[in-house]
Amino acid sequence: MAASVPSTALPGAILGSTSRFNAGAGTHIYEGQVVSSLMGHVAVAQPVKPAGPAKRLNKITSKDARNDNGASLATLSVTRHGQKREVLPDVGNIVLAKVLRLMPRQAIVIIQQVGDTVLQTEWQGVIRTQDVRATEKDKVKIYESFRPGDIVKAQVISLGDQANYYLSTASNELGVIMATSDAGNDMVPVSWKEYKDPETGSTELRKVAKPN
């Protein structure tokens, strides 16, 4: 049996061979070995058995075939002690963002939550007018879709440039989920484009997300 995987590692510590393990988060591959990049605890994640066909009468398997197939190797990962790994927004993630300011052709937002994880760092995002709705994209008025201070559920469509992620609300489930009226009260959604202030009775236009 090969040497067992250490329980803690320093940067540069060799954890195992790439023929036996996959390299996960916090590790890298160097000269055929999985090497730790961080200082922390080592975790071994057993592979999920892929659901294959029940019986294959004509498949010839060799003794070492399972190890050569990357999906059935265990995954080594190193995590820092006591600190959750910071999640970065990736293309396709659903994020919650607060609208910071409005410009004629786009809205600037601050991404505060990716999926279920609240971010430690705040990333800036942009929702362009052509990404607000799926239909009638050229008739969108940014002032009738968002207001500064709204909480918006959006999807990341691009990692963008140095300053901004690019987000989109062009779906029924995406859009403003929380809004405050001009009078300062929380509003309730009444349709796909209106929020209503229950105290004063006035309505304001927003791109409303479908409540689930």
Partner 1 sequence: MFVLPGDIIDPSFVPSHPKKALRLGPGLQHAPPNDIIPTLAGRLVTDHQKNAIRIETATGRYVPRVAELVIGTVQRSAAESFFVTLSDYTAPALLPHLSFESATKKTRPQLAPGSLVYARVTMANKHMDAELECVHPSTGKSEGLGPLTGGMVYDISLGFARRLMMPKGGIVVLDEMESVGLQFETATGRNGKFWVNSENTKTVIAVGRAITESDTQSLGAEGQRKLVRKILKEMS
Binding site for partner 1 (CB under 8 A): 101-104, 142-143, 147-148, 183, 199-200
Instruction: Give least dist CB 80 to partner 1, A.
Output: 42
Cβ 40 to partner 1 shortest distance, Å: 46
The Cα-based distances of 139 to 95, 124, 132, 134 in angstroms read 25, 25, 10, 11
Measured from the CB atom, the residue of 131 and 197 that comes closer to partner 1 is: 197
Cα gap 176→162, rounded to integer Å: 26
Q: Which is nearer to partner 1, 142 or 154 (CB)?
A: 142
- How, if at all, do strands 40-45 and 74-79 pair? antiparallel
CB of 102 to partner 1, least distance (A): 5
Minimum CB distance to partner 1 smaller for 183 or for 190: 183
Name which of 44 and 151 has its Cβ closer to partner 1. 151
- Kindly state the smallest distance separating residue 103's Cβ from partner 1, in Å: 7
Q: With beta carbons less than 8 A apart as the criterion, state whether 147 and 155 touch.
A: no
